A and B are shown apart, each in its own frame.
Chain A
Amino acid sequence: MISWSNFLSQFFNGLASGALLALISSGLTIIYGTLGVLNLAHGAMFMLGGYAGYVAFQATGSFLIAVIVGSLFLVLFGVIFEFVIIRRFYSRPPEDQLLVTFGVGMVLVELVRWGFGSLSLTVPPPAWAMGVTPLGFMIYPTYRLVVLGIAAVALAVLYFVLYRTRLGMIVRAGIEDSTMVGMLGINVDRVFMLVFGIGAMAAGFAGIVNAPVVSLTPDMGDAILVQTFVVVVIGGVGSFPGAILGGLIAGEILSVTSMFNPAYSEVMLFAVMTLVLLLRPQGLLGLPSRE
């Protein structure tokens, strides 16, 4: 049943779901690239963005406000998380960083479960983005098309901030040599706190933008965390363009493989990751020094 129209529709679906994966993964890779911390609470932060947006939506009925609240709440959370916990772990071994972020992730998930229960909650898309849009080769949920656009714009904004602004320059310099940046009179601590906030915001933004596509459950970050790790490894750990490329590749692998055998689509994702690790350990767009 592999027809031209099926291939086209899966290819398109891969692109749309890949863009979302890229957006979620970008936060993970920005934090790792700048601070060297592999944030295992990223999936939980993604979930938290969705729930914060849900609360705002319930209170106001506005999806736009939900997106703003979901993102800002995570900036705030990220900044506090960095200030209270993460900065005490920069000089500690990576295992400690993994354990503390993993632990914080668990606490967040269980706090949300305690407050909201395990039953799933839904945030409807804005009225103008409901329903389906015919694309010729398939009909596609209108909101998913919107998400594709939102993800592209958000990634472009992040790219601009990181590569075309003074803050971005400091961040990238900080990645290379934070001591030297500090000697130049720049408050590296504050920059790092801000970077963590931006990474957290990317997760929270993705969480609330994704909310109408899925339904919210406290555990929703778990499976996403695994996929974002695969994305980041394929694209190159710490590389922002790598996260975008990795996201799109992962989306395509999941979609296109499912056309041949749906049971193998997740397996194929890991197979490709293994292949990348064997042939180019630093990832497709990663720098060897950062592997």
Chain B
Amino acid sequence: MNFIKPSRRTVLQAGGALAASAALPRFAFADDMPPIGTWPAGSQGSSVTIGAAVPLTGTYAAQGADELKGWQLAVEHLNSGDELIRATSPKTTKGVLGKEVKIVYADSAAKPAQAVQAQGKFISDDKIVLMTGSTSSAVAVATNHFAQREHVLYFCGISGSNDTTGKDCVRYGFRQDFYGQTAAAAIGPVLIKAFGKNRKAAYMTPDYTYGHTVTKAMNDYLTSQGGWTMVTNQVSPLGAPDYSNYVTNIGNTDAEFLINVNWGHDAVLSTQQAKQFGLLNKMKLVVPYQIPFLAKELGAETTQGVYAATDFWWTLEDQNPLAKQFVEKFQAKFGYRPEWGAESAYTSIALWADGVERAGTFYPPAVIKALEAGNHNNTMVGDCYIRAADHQLVRPVIIVQGKKPSDMKNPEDYWQVLEVVPGAPLMQAPDAFGCKLGDYT
């Protein structure tokens, strides 16, 4: 039998290696907090990182850029311990649990595969402790499932689909924006009150989860509560270069309302072309889920009188001191008044920071439990809390109406806030869309 005899050098090397490993900092994991996802690796240093996958190209590029600014401001405010973020996350001092917060981001082009790929890279390279970003519900839904698989928390960005915290909800995913269903329940009564019952509506719907669920929610509400009828539903792909064929079909109906569910640049282009084809002379435009920059791009001549549901509009500064602070600080930094994508992004980060501070650890299951605790947070739209059963923020819906050009007090004064409708009474039961959150570990 031959034994391999270790040489003196090998023995010395092995001994050295052992000594070195003993000198490394040892992390004692409590037995109830075993490593999971990027924990504890992501929070062992003096800083933690957030990964954002956001559309900076494509149909949703303008909205994505606005959203990104919201995250950047929130991160800056966390690190400086700004009073605005401390209003929502009262335990915050500087950073999160004393650690500096960094943000890395990549362009998702609003494509689910590209977004998930970017987040995967952030998880392996940057050991991110939180994922954020979407602007498309298709991205939000895909990242939800990715978050559950990777055990990394995800606060989606802009997402209005019923699926995000409905049938595609996950334990590791949270949403700040309301359901499309909630938007419909908020704007539906306003439309019926303003225009009466038994009206005819044509819908324009982008062909993915957001479009289908919002159109269904609007139509269900208006049909059951107001006797409205859907005379046509023009479903188009995301980023269609021309809407003339869809608009022509609508022109051949006797619709009295054009309910445009398209989003981003698609909403701009489809509305412009509806106008070019003379449709807006014979039917009223309704935008169930308001779109950042829509009025700016279309002009107030087109959006005057239009009803929309939205998460935030900057004139809320007249009603809420936090909104006022946010608008001032955002404008000072970026040179324009924030749209709701930026507000939504900022609030998401503040809610997450509050969850971590209350948990006292970055250990994801503990943070999730802290977020599920029903804690009430003061935000720019008032008191809000996360529903434990579907991880949906219960928050008000803002109903706005487009101002006439002559009523605008400054170049960004496009919408008038009509109502701030409390969210809780509008919302369906948490399991109405089949939400099953899944496991903590």
Chain A residues with a Cβ under 8 A of chain B? 1, 3, 5-6, 9-10, 13-14, 16-17, 109, 113, 117-120, 122, 132, 138-141, 143-144, 213-215, 217-220, 222-224, 227, 254-255, 258-259, 262-263, 265-266
Contacts and interface: CB of A to CB of B under 8 A. Distances in A.
21 contacts: A6-B249, A9-B252, A118-B61, A118-B65, A122-B272, A132-B277, A139-B278, A141-B277, A144-B276, A213-B273, A214-B242, A214-B273, A215-B268, A219-B61, A219-B265, A220-B241, A258-B234, A262-B233, A262-B234, A262-B235, A262-B249
Closest 6 CB pairs of A and B: A118-B61, A263-B235, A223-B241, A258-B245, A118-B62, A141-B276
A219 B240 CA distance: 11
For B59, B232, B241, which residue has the most chain A Cβ atoms within 10 angstroms?
Answer: B241
Nearest to B254: A1
Interface residues of B, number: 38
A227 B245 contact: no
B269 A262 contact: no
Interface in B267-281: 268-269, 272-273, 276-278
A140 B249 contact: no
B98 interface: no
Contacts of B239: 219, 222-223
Interface in B314-373: none
B236 interface: yes
Interface centre among B251, B269, B276 (most CB of A within 10 A): B276
Nearest to A138: B251
A14 B248 CA distance: 10
A138 B276 CA distance: 13
Contact of B252 (A3, A118, A140, A213): A3
Contacts of B44: none
A217 B239 CA distance: 11
A134 B57 CA distance: 38
Nearest to A125: B276
Given A1-B253, A219-B57, A119 B278 contact: no
Interface of B: 56-59, 61-62, 65, 207, 231-237, 239-242, 244-246, 248-249, 251-253, 265, 268-269, 272-273, 276-278, 293, 296-297
Given A13-B245, A117-B62, A219-B239, 18 more contacts: A1-B232, A13-B244, A16-B244, A109-B57, A119-B293, A119-B296, A122-B272, A141-B277, A144-B276, A214-B269, A215-B268, A215-B297, A217-B265, A255-B244, A259-B249, A262-B245, A263-B207, A266-B240
Contacts of A10: 245, 248-249
Nearest to A226: B241
A138 B251 CA distance: 8
Contacts of B251: 9, 138-139
Contacts of A5: 252
Nearest to B64: A118
Nearest to B236: A262
B297 A17 contact: no
A262 B268 CA distance: 19
Given A17-B245, A118-B62, A139-B278, A215 B234 contact: no
Contacts of B265: 120, 215, 217, 219
Contacts of B207: 263
A207 to B, nearest CB: 12
B248 A13 contact: yes
B278 A255 contact: no
B15 to A, nearest CB: 53
A254 B244 CA distance: 10
A5 B244 CA distance: 16
Given A217-B61, A223-B240, A263-B235, A258 B246 contact: yes
B62 A139 contact: no
Contacts of A138: 248, 251-252
Contacts of A263: 207, 235-237
Contacts of A143: 276
A105 B278 CA distance: 35
A218 B57 CA distance: 8
Contacts of B61: 113, 118, 217-219
Contacts of A17: 242, 244-245
Contacts of A113: 57, 61
Contact of A9 (B58, B237, B248, B278): B248
Nearest to A263: B235
Contacts of B240: 223, 266
A218 to B, nearest CB: 8
Given A9-B251, A255-B245, A258-B249, A222 B58 contact: yes
Nearest to A260: B249
A16 B245 CA distance: 11
A67 B237 CA distance: 30
Contacts of B249: 1, 6, 10, 258-259, 262
B431 to A, nearest CB: 29
Nearest to B231: A1
A144 to B, nearest CB: 7
A48 to B, nearest CB: 16
A227 B269 contact: no
A252 B377 CA distance: 55
B246 A262 contact: yes
A117 B248 CA distance: 31
Most A CB within 10 A of own CB, among B62, B245, B278:
B245
B402 to A, nearest CB: 18
Given A219-B59, A262-B236, A263-B235, A224 B241 contact: yes
B441 to A, nearest CB: 40
Nearest to B55: A118
A219 B59 CA distance: 7
Contacts of A3: 252
Given A109-B57, A118-B62, A265 B268 contact: no
Contacts of B273: 213-214
Contacts of A6: 248-249, 252
Contacts of A227: 241
A227 B239 CA distance: 12
B276 A215 contact: no
A215 B272 contact: yes
A213 B62 contact: no
Contacts of B237: 263, 266
Contacts of A132: 276-278
Nearest to A219: B58
Contacts of A1: 231-232, 249, 252-253
A117 to B, nearest CB: 7
Contacts of B231: 1
